[in-house]
Structures are given as C-alpha cells and as structure tokens.
Amino acid sequence: MKTISSISTILLFIFSSVFLLSSCSKNREKQSDEQISASSEESSQNTNDSLWNSVTDNVTMKQIASFPSQVILTGLAEHRLVSIYKSKRIKGAAENFSSSRYDSDEGGDEFTEHFMPGIDILFGYNLLNIAHYDLLSEKANYLFNHPVLIKTFYYPSFLDDSLYKKPIKRNYYLVSAYDEDTNKDTLINKKDLRRFYLFDAGSNVRTQLLPPDYSTLRSQYDPKNDVMYIFARRDENKNGTQDKTEPIHVFWISLANPGKAKLMY
C-alpha cells in the first residue's frame, strides 16, 4: 500500500510541477507579448507604402506584423479611422472595445467609470497605431510616425450627444500611449513612460499635454465644468520608468477647448 501511495504522490508532484511550469510559461508569454522593439536589424530604408513613408528608430510598420481591425466611425462625417493591431493572435489581442465611458487601468477607486459626453473611447491591447482617412481629400496618414502601444484612444462620438441637455460636439482626438523607449531597454512597453497627446480633427497637429518627465496613470471627468483631471507620476530620478515612490500630481484640461494640461496638485 505504501508503494502505491508513494507512486501516487510522485505522480501528483510531477503533474503539479508540469502544470505550474506551464502556467508560469503562459504568464511570461502574456506579460512579454504587449511590447514592441525600439530598434530593428531589418532594413532601415524608407518604404514605398503610401501611408507609411518615414522611419523612426529604425522601426517601420512593415517591420512589425500588423493588421487593420475595423473602421472607426467618428462624429466628424468626413473623418474615418482604422485601428491597427499587432498580428500575434492571442485572446483579446484584436478585440476593439469601444465605449462612451472612461475606465482607468489602475486599482482601487480608479476603476470607477466616468461618463464623457461627446467622446467615445477605444481601449487598446497591442494597438500599434490609428490610421486617419479623410473621405473628402482621399488622403490618409497615421497618428504616430512609428509603431507605439496605444492604451486609450478618445474620439468624437458617432451619435449625437449632449451635456445638461445642450448639444455637444468634439473635434479632436486624445491618445494615451507608450511611444518611446524611455528606460532604454530596447523595448517599448509598460515599463516606459506613458504619454498623453491631443490631435486636431485632421490628425495633422499633435500636442503633448503633460510635461515630458511625467507618466499618465488615470483620468477623471468633471461634468459640471466639462473638465478632465489627469493623474500622472513624475519621473524624478530621470530613469525613464515609473517608480512607486515617485510623486503623483494632478493636472486638468478643458474638454470644450483642450490644450496643454495645467497643474492642479
């Protein structure tokens, strides 16, 4: 009986070990998947792609396997957008999640959703870029001139919206994204600083809303003032990454007339 029991114990140990190793391997794969290289050994010559004709940090869209997921309908009739995702097909990698509510990505109260009139939201996972197309001029361009990791994309809502029974229209895009290898580890991922940008309707003018030494954490909407509050961590030690010991500051922007964020706290 002891022999049978010993064999069962050994088999159980082997099974548990294999399961544990498999789980760790899957976790590592999941953790490492949402990242892109900040440099490439492939050719750095300009491509003939009509949309993509520039090279930044030696990485182009043609050097990263990607695919268009869907056409995004905006409240600006002639402006249509295409979401571009990293091609590795894992669960959730190509799932667009559009919403007219904001949901941050940190714990605690930050998971509270805040309604933002006139704005629809796309939450990204391996979202490399957004292509903008003007139906009138028949011209196209990308929001970013190199692959990035977009976390949250705000755009004018397709359906008419109002704030306190007054019609409200937005004519811009807001984007939070990891767009630079700030910690110099050759990768663009969540270890880098997360930027926050404002683009005009034609996506031709880009404004960085926060100072370059800040990393966006979350935001909150104030309907009485039609204001967005932005919580961001300052990279005090200049190591290009977020450290939990570094201070968190609060900025704000007017959604009626957005511009560079103003420090509140």
> pLDDT tens digits for 13-52?
444 444 444 444 444 444 457 888 886 433 333 333 444 4
DSSP letter for each residue of 28-62: HHHHHHS-EESS-SS--SPP--SS----BTTB-GG
What does the buried/exposed string (b/e) look like for 149-158 if buried means 16 or more CB atoms within 10 Å of the residue's CB?
bbbbbbbbbe
8-17, 32-41, 122-131, 187-196: range with lowest mean pLDDT? 8-17
Measured CA to CA, the distance from residue 248 to residue 246 in angstroms comes to 7
Question: pTM surpassing 0.85?
Answer: no
Tell me if residue 25 falls in helix, strand or coil.
helix
Report the domain count for the chain. 1
> Domain limits at 82?
54-211
**Is residue 256 a part of any domain in this protein?**
no
Residues 36 and 160: their CA atoms lie apart, in Å, by 37
The answer as to whether 136 is a domain residue is yes
Answer yes or no: is 240 within a domain: no
Whether residue 159 lies inside any domain: the answer is yes
